[in-house]
Chains A and B, each alone.
Chain A
Amino acid sequence: MQAQSHHDDLAHQDGLAHDDDQDRAASVSAAVTIGKSANEVRSLWLDPATLPRIMEPMARITPRADHTADWEMDAPLGRTLHWRTRRPEETDRLGWTTVDGADVPNTGTLILRPAPGDRGTEVTLKLRFDPPGGLLGSGIARLFHVVPREMAMKALYNFRALALTGEVPTTEPQPAARNGGMDK
């Protein structure tokens, strides 16, 4: 039954992976509903400018001509992690996978389903990180400055905002009595 498999799909999205690979990998997912058709959502996703905007400032992404993109993410102890991603080969799939040589091999999968009534499209983003053993100190949560579940959730929040308003909400830079008078 479809509802059942959907549920199974999402069963391990509570921010942590299964016990057997607790410290090795993280599979997380988040979902939002966007009041637009699947086609509109899909073409916004495929716009090379979109991912860099919705992932900012969690990751700095530079799209390249051949449907690949270079990612940079800040990590604790002042280090920066790098990888290159490509789109899935199957044209009906949305997301990315890293190519060989990634500091942290990972995949992102975007799934679109019609929402009930006139609510638009349900959009699920699944992220999976497979850090090589040596990189892991105390588990996946310490790997980046942002935990993977937050990353998926915030990227989708921003994606919905971009789809509905053409903007990603931001407060930077803005006035504040710190850092020389502003947040940046």
Chain B
Amino acid sequence: MRALCWNGVNDLRVETVADPEILNPKDVILKVGLSTTCGSDLHLIDGLIPTMREGDVLGHEFMGEVVEVGSEVTKVKRGDRVVVPSFVSCGECFHCAQEQYSLCDTSHPKPELAEPILGYPTAGIYGYSHAFGGYSGAHAEYVRVPFADVDCFIVPEDVSDETALFISDAAPTGYMGADFCNIQQGDVIAVWGCGGVGLMAQQSAKIMGAEFVIAIDRYPERLAMAEALGAVAIDYTKVDVVEMLKDLTGGRGPDACIDAVGMEAGGRGIQQAYDRVKQALYLETDRGYALRQAMMACRKGGTLSVLGVYGLMDKFPMGMIINKGLTVRAAQQHGQAYVPRLLEHAQRGELTPAAMATHHFSLEDGPKGYDMFKHKTDGCVRAVFKP
């Protein structure tokens, strides 16, 4: 089959690889319907996450049709149209039982690579480096999905392929980020980043009853999309964000701040220069501009909800958390906990992720799609591939 493969920093190629096979009895094989780019892939493409190997198949946000079923799969059937969260989760372990699906204790085939970095291995992820399990990704004609009864969710007929696609990753991530904020009546939520994850966090915060939502980014088309979802949009290159947030909240500051930016954050001033130099020298993989700003802006006793992906950041302003009494919540997405709810929100028209599919490509044009996504060419929010 054909697949989009990582071959080094900024080197993606579509290549011919073997078809996936059922390896364990709870596996299925999916014929990929649609797959899409995620901001997390940029960390791999930019070389900020080690343990990629040349020839790895990328892609962790996808949906498709079940074409082959392992001997112990009982719920999912051949022909089912399903969406699959980006983490492989067993549904049986301590963490899965607590709906901490991205922390699954049993789905990592290479735990010895993860333990030295994090202390304990996380769940495996599709197409996201060997320290995260080394599973072959979904930018391909077919993909193997382990623990299918737990990880495949049937898409209702009235939910389109495009909507279902984002309920794999961007939507559950954003929704989880809003869920972390424990939104109460009158709460104002600020979201850094208007990519797929940020936009979904904004819409989710509205669904959960936020008084209003403030969206921060620099790209006009992304800010316009945030406004279309009902958020107040701020261009961080044009104003002093912290001051602006104070103005908008009567001096209180947002009750919760969501970071949907991550380690490639853009920024201004000395701190940004410092971060960039260290990142360039590989002394530090992270540019934490957005995260630091979110901590500064957040009201005392508020919640900092971190969805952006970071490496091992030094110079972390811990004093901000302790002195302001902030609650920090962070995780990789626990998608399996949220997908059923998200499909219902989509059916009721409350969740509208399909608009993020701004650019469509064949799988063969995958490298071009990633290039446009990375550089946000032509207003690209998500590049969607159809194998």
- Chain A positions within 8 Å of B, measured between CB atoms, are 33, 35, 119, 146, 150, 153-154, 157, 160-161, 164-178, 180-183
Q: What chain A residues lie within 8 Å of B108 (beta carbons)?
A: 157, 169
In the bound complex, do residue B53 and residue A176 qualify as a contact, i.e. CB atoms below 8 Å apart? yes
Q: In the complex, which residues 123-151 of chain B have their Cβ closer than 8 Å to any Cβ of chain A?
A: 124, 133-136, 140, 144, 146-147
Q: What chain A residues lie within 8 Å of B3 (beta carbons)?
A: 175, 177
The answer to whether A174 and B93 touch (CB under 8 A), given A164-B106, A166-B72, A182-B17, is no
Q: What chain A residues lie within 8 Å of B107 (beta carbons)?
A: 161, 169
In the bound complex, do residue B20 and residue A167 qualify as a contact, i.e. CB atoms below 8 Å apart? no
- Cβ-based interface call for B211 (8 A): no
Q: What chain B residues lie within 8 Å of A171 (beta carbons)?
A: 23, 109-110, 133-136
Q: How far is the CB of B384 from chain A (nearest CB, A)?
A: 21
| Extra inter-chain contacts (6) besides given A35-B97, A177-B7, CB under 8 Å | A146-B112, A167-B106, A175-B3, A175-B136, A176-B55, A177-B54
Q: Which residue of B lies closest to A157 (CB)?
A: B111
The answer to whether A178 and B54 touch (CB under 8 A), given A161-B106, A164-B106, is yes
In the bound complex, do residue B106 and residue A176 qualify as a contact, i.e. CB atoms below 8 Å apart? no
Q: What chain B residues lie within 8 Å of A170 (beta carbons)?
A: 23-24, 109
User: Could you list some 28 contacts between A and B, CB below 8 A?
Assistant: A35-B93, A119-B94, A150-B112, A157-B108, A161-B90, A161-B107, A164-B92, A167-B25, A169-B107, A169-B108, A169-B124, A171-B133, A171-B135, A171-B136, A172-B109, A173-B21, A174-B20, A174-B136, A175-B17, A175-B18, A176-B5, A176-B55, A177-B13, A177-B16, A178-B53, A180-B18, A182-B18, A183-B136
- Cβ-based interface call for B253 (8 A): no
Q: How far is the CB of B105 from chain A (nearest CB, A)?
A: 6
Category for how many chain B residues contact A: 35 or more
- Chain B positions within 8 Å of A, measured between CB atoms, are 1, 3, 5, 7, 13, 15-21, 23-26, 53-57, 72, 88, 90, 92-94, 97, 105-112, 115, 121, 124, 133-136, 140, 144, 146-147
Most buried by A among B92, B97, B133: B92
The answer to whether A181 and B25 touch (CB under 8 A), given A153-B111, A169-B107, A176-B57, is no
| Closest 9 pairs between A and B when the two form their complex, measured CB to CB | A177-B55, A178-B55, A161-B106, A182-B18, A175-B17, A181-B18, A177-B15, A177-B5, A150-B112
In the bound complex, do residue B134 and residue A175 qualify as a contact, i.e. CB atoms below 8 Å apart? no
CA distance A157 to B107 in the complex (A): 10
Q: Which residue of B lies closest to A146 (CB)?
A: B112
CA distance A167 to B16 in the complex (A): 29
Q: Which residue of A lies closest to B70 (CB)?
A: A167
Q: How far is the CB of A16 from chain B (nearest CB, A)?
A: 15
In the bound complex, do residue B1 and residue A153 qualify as a contact, i.e. CB atoms below 8 Å apart? no
In the bound complex, do residue B18 and residue A173 qualify as a contact, i.e. CB atoms below 8 Å apart? yes
Choose one: A150, A165, A172; the contact of B26 (CB below 8 Å): A165
Choose one: B13, B18, B112; the contact of A154 (CB below 8 Å): B112
In the bound complex, do residue A177 and residue B57 qualify as a contact, i.e. CB atoms below 8 Å apart? yes
Q: What chain A residues lie within 8 Å of B19 (beta carbons)?
A: 175
In the bound complex, do residue A174 and residue B105 qualify as a contact, i.e. CB atoms below 8 Å apart? no
Q: What chain A residues lie within 8 Å of B135 (beta carbons)?
A: 171, 174
Q: What chain A residues lie within 8 Å of B55 (beta carbons)?
A: 176-178
Q: Which residue of A lies closest to B144 (CB)?
A: A174
Q: What chain B residues lie within 8 Å of A165 (beta carbons)?
A: 26, 90, 92-93, 106, 147
